[in-house]
Amino acid sequence: MSTPPPLRCEQLAKAFGPRPLFAAIDLQLQPRERLALLGASGSGKSTLLHCLSGVLPADSGRIWLGGERLDQLDAEQLAHCRRQKIGTVFQFFHLLPTLTARENIELPLQLLGHPSQQRRERVDALLERMGVSHRADAFPAALSGGEMQRVAIARAIAHRPPILFADEPTGNLDSRSGAAVLQLLRELTDEEGAALLMVTHSDEAASICQRQLHLVDGALTETAAPNH
């Protein structure tokens, strides 16, 4: 029996009051595939990302993370599924301010009950890989924007999830830091075997992806991605 894709949805729809954001969305993401979701401000692309990641319920349609259908899970099962199968990178980092860089990266491993030695080895390797091992004991307030996003990416992949969701991951960074973060996302999806679904308005960010989908008037249209 073939392994199910990391993410699949069928006929997904969501409205806010009388205003439909999107309808009849079909989408599938393969392992190691990078997919950019583009659209104008207010087009609903972040809401679509939140539905696909289980943060918001869709009005109708079906979503599978791996082989698990989200709308058939209770709250506890959904939380466990998301904790295991998803890593998320945000525009504004969302690091816990009272934890050091090392502790932020370690948190998802603690929540999943990984042994302490295993956690330490994984976190040390990620700190080194991200080029922030010298900032391991710094709190987020002492880090630059680029350093915070590197730590946030390390936290997102620490537990080796099959899919990464990224919501405007370079939107709060200068161009140099943003380019470095994009290069990391490209390399890490290959190294870790994770798929990436990235919401962005940036053509530069979208260029690291093999596929680009535009959300226009509630429907997805695919455009040919440039060489990546």
- Phi, psi values for residue 14, rounded to 5°: -155, 135
Residue 6, number of CB atoms within 10 A of its CB: 25
CB 159 within 8 A of CB 86: no
Q: Does domain 32-54+82-224 have CATH number 3.40.50.300?
A: yes
The string of DSSP letters for 113-136 reads: T--HHHHHHHHHHHHHHTT-GGGT
**pLDDT for the residue numbered 225:** 60
DSSP state of 140: G
The token duo for 13 is 């729809």
**Comparing C-alpha atoms, which of 141, 146, 115, 110 is closest to residue 131?**
146
**Comparing C-alpha atoms, which of 44, 6, 49 is closest to residue 28?**
6
Continuous H helices in 58-100: 75-85
pLDDT digits (tens, 9 = 90+) for 19-49: 888 888 999 999 889 999 998 887 888 899 9
**pLDDT for the residue numbered 41:** 81
Report yes or no on whether pTM surpasses 0.85: yes
CA distances from 136 to 25, 131, 132, 141 (A): 41, 10, 7, 13
**pLDDT for the residue numbered 44:** 85
Regions of the chain with pLDDT less than 70: 1, 224-228
**Comparing C-alpha atoms, which of 181, 151, 184, 154 is closest to residue 169?**
181
**pLDDT for the residue numbered 226:** 59
